Copies of this chain bind each other. A is one copy, B any other.
Amino acid sequence: MVDIPDSHPRKNSLESRNKIVQGSRKGLLADSALIAHGRGEAFDYLLGEKTSEIANLAIKEVSARLLVAKKPVISVNGNTVILAGRNFIRIAAALGCPIEVNLYYTTPERVSGLISLLEEQRKEVVLEDFKRGENWKKKILAVDFLGLETDYKIAGLDGPRANCCKAGIGDSDTVLVPLEDGDRCEALVNELKEVLVIDLNPLSRTARMATVTIVDEVSRASEEIFKEVTKRNNIPSDWDNLVSLNESLKIISSSFLKDSNY
């Protein structure tokens, strides 16, 4: 992996890119995952590679909804595990909910590879968080990693991507699903679940179908979600997702107009 100096203005973005390239070399990602990452890079660049005010509000809303959910679940794909697996393990520990590896282009090898990576990340989290005490450690160790054996089908989807776990997505009332595809997002909404997504493209079908969309980069957003679910001081509001997406659109659009004065 190339060493990027701390002074580089786009260090985080380049490090994320390296992680995705490494993950791809290890066979953890479908080919299209690198292309999807590139699309995300472009949108994040336009957002100034920082969490906006409206993204912060969406993060608080998502955290509030996760805390009041009866059966929340975190659905992750390869990019999510590689970029932010440890943050999602912490969020799952704080909520006492499972993490389900659920892939668009799924193979048993990739699912088990990603579950192994989550197991490694869990060990890192235990070491990093040792000051939080035994109770926290127990919660981290108790997080279930699902996805290897599917026993539930999401209604309205064809083929392998309909498959998921009953104990995970199947029985859940609320799904936190970073980087989801549009069809599946729609199918989950049709199952009357709350679908909370993290998507850098405010125009994507996923962003527009979801109950709450955080328009932000997944590792930044997940770090903030963890802080918020730990504080436990947010309550769900009447969230108008399209209004919030319009705020993100305005930020991107003004970044173009600002730069056009070069």
Contact = CB atoms under 8 A, between A and B. Distances in A.
Contacts of A32: 17, 21
A127 interface: no
Interface stretch (A36-44, A60-68, A88-96, A144-152): A36-44
Nearest to A204: B45
Interface stretch (A115-123, A191-199, A220-228, A247-255): A247-255
A162 interface: no
Interface residues of A, number: 34
A209 to B, nearest CB: 12
Could you say how many copies of this chain the assembly holds?
2
A216 to B, nearest CB: 16
A21 B31 contact: yes
A246 interface: yes
Interface string A36-76: 11111111010000000000000000000000000000000
Nearest to A34: B34
Contacts of A31: 21, 24-25, 34
A78 to B, nearest CB: 14
Interface in A78-110: none
A21 B36 CA distance: 12
Given A21-B32, A34-B35, A38-B40, A256 B249 contact: yes
Q: Give 6 closest A-B pairs by Cβ, nearest first.
A: A38-B38, A34-B34, A42-B42, A35-B38, A253-B256, A249-B260
Interface of A: 17, 20-21, 24-25, 31-32, 34-43, 45, 201, 203, 208, 242, 245-246, 249-250, 252-254, 256-257, 259-260, 262
